[in-house]
Structure 1
């Protein structure tokens, strides 16, 4: 089939690589300009560079809604558009143009975690598995019929980076498998159960800020979700920013006020956590490794030279 590809960053790069290695003919690539956004500088393999290396025409757009783009698409005469990690709305006159419509590839198990940063949100929320979904695009974001979907389990120590590497390897088989079904003539696919749908926004610095009223189990997952190269989870100690690089849920239960620097336990320093910490029924977050605002990285047992005081949401 003749394919036009819309994509960005490593997700788009892997999709384009799979298409170039397949029996399909990539006739045009549309991608975004480079960005300085913290999350868009991560996993930033260039779709444009890969296309140009293979002699595929490239268009750079923030939004795919201009007449010149539409004309180029009509001239390309695609059987299908394949999109992955396209960051803005694609209008119906674009996604409905190809003979077989537009196939969107999304790194979650739709209908859950539509939208942005699905792996990070899924890890924070304690999901047991994540994956990749190829679905037909319609008027509603990430809501079209599912063509193909594959999942991988989430382990108890997995970071968002681990899950990225595991799911990015699913892009090629899911994309090419879905295109095979479309090329075979299938037009009926699995409708999404919209009663199970959830939609998440882009992550920003504010979303990495530790809220000590969260349960320790949630905070431990937040720390893993914000693993390198993502911006680390952070808090404030004595008015200065402190990044939490590694932490586990405490063995003991600790009562008091959320954010209290309380007790040395094993290799960590326990911070009281949970909105109902006053009951004494909660585990704390045993912080094991931190980074100071001047870039020093050290064990929490060396950073906290004495117990007492509080970690806070703001300076």
Structure 2
């Protein structure tokens, strides 16, 4: 179905992807009668750009309801006769009542190469699992998350030492590329879509700060992946020593291993460097770490832990 000109779109958006994709629509001359976003949570580290601010700069009506399915909001959206509905990193699922509002369909921008890493925090999960690429995918929405036919997608590399915030920056750019190159075809009704092969991926759930605890049996590469997936601005990968949480901020894989794989995870200091000795004997160079008292470095290691090697609590 070809939309009338100029096209109109209801936009659900949050975070950096929401900001950049909203700007793409406005740059293309798409009318946006309504933007729906989130109130920033007081307990959250807000390190990303504001959709509400962009909406205000362009004089757009912007709301942040606790429940997006309010009848009066749905009625307002339907009355604007939108051609499209877009969801750009909006955090809540939209039910059929919303998906049926636009004439030409509802579309979501997801931060992975669907059908891989469907569900929550896809960038973090990709790094945890050691993936070497991810990307952004624009797909048609239905009532099952990340399930609809793909309009377009763009891949980005994940380097061995990339953190989640670095990869997310690439995904933001990929999302902007995907929408900018797909939008003309969507507007003239010629965009092709392909059904996902859902057997090529699976769903992933959300993560909580306590999920960042380093598993006792993890190898050095697995710990390295967890550390960079959860590095700031995320809550961090951590272990416990003497009842205190030790956050491992940055690590480097060096390919070293020790023959004495004793099945324990230990933090140690030698040759003026800090190391994690994994249960399988593999070694990981710890470049930065901290606890509630501040940074932990080789110079203060022995004073902090009363020794040069300390076992991690399981």
Task: Report the more deviating stretch, 255-264 or 118-127.
Answer: 255-264
Counterpart secondary structure, 2:162: coil
Counterpart secondary structure, 2:112: coil
Q: In angstroms, what is the RMSD of aligned CA positions?
A: 1.9
**TM superposition shift of 1:264:** 2.6
Match of 1:292 in 2: 291
Gaps of 5+ in 2: 1-6
**TM superposition shift of 1:174:** 1.1
Is 1:214 equivalent to 2:218 in the alignment? yes
Q: Aligned partners of 1:236 and 1:127: how far apart in 2?
A: 27
Counterpart secondary structure, 1:72: helix
Task: Report the more deviating stretch, 116-125 or 254-263.
Answer: 254-263
Query: Which residue of 6, 13, 16 corresponds with 1:10?
Result: 16
Question: Which structure 2 residues correspond to residues 122-161 of structure 1 after superposition, within 5 A?
Answer: 122-161=126-165
**TM superposition shift of 1:188:** 4.5
Q: Aligned partners of 2:125 and 2:143: how far apart in 1?
A: 24
Q: Aligned partners of 1:18 and 1:37: how far apart in 2?
A: 30
Q: Aligned partners of 1:19 and 1:37: how far apart in 2?
A: 31
Contact kept, 8 Å, 1:249 with 1:283, in 2: the verdict is no
Contact kept, 8 Å, 1:2 with 1:24, in 2: the verdict is yes
Structure 1 runs, 4 residues or longer, greater than 4 Å off: none
Is 1:90 equivalent to 2:94 in the alignment? yes
Question: Which structure 2 residues correspond to residues 1-315 of structure 1 after superposition, within 5 A?
Answer: 1-38=7-44, 41-186=45-190, 188-250=192-254, 251-253=256-258, 254-261=260-267, 264=270, 267-273=273-279, 277=280, 282-294=281-293, 296-300=294-298, 302-304=300-302, 306-313=307-314
CA 266–156 in structure 1, closer or farther in 2 if over 3 Å, else same:
farther
Q: Aligned partners of 2:10 and 2:230: how far apart in 1?
A: 34
CA 271–156 in structure 1, closer or farther in 2 if over 3 Å, else same:
same
Contact kept, 8 Å, 2:269 with 2:301, in 1: the verdict is no
Q: Aligned partners of 2:137 and 2:196: how far apart in 1?
A: 11
Q: TM-score, normalised by structure 1?
A: 0.89
CA 301–232 in structure 1, closer or farther in 2 if over 3 Å, else same:
farther
Q: Aligned partners of 1:48 and 1:26: how far apart in 2?
A: 13
**TM superposition shift of 1:27:** 1.8
CA 81–136 in structure 1, closer or farther in 2 if over 3 Å, else same:
same
**TM superposition shift of 1:138:** 0.8
Q: TM-score, normalised by structure 2?
A: 0.90
Counterpart secondary structure, 2:76: helix
Task: Report the more deviating stretch, 249-258 or 71-80.
Answer: 249-258
**TM superposition shift of 1:298:** 3.2
Q: Aligned partners of 2:28 and 2:211: how far apart in 1?
A: 39
CA 262–243 in structure 1, closer or farther in 2 if over 3 Å, else same:
closer
**TM superposition shift of 1:242:** 1.0
Counterpart secondary structure, 1:164: helix
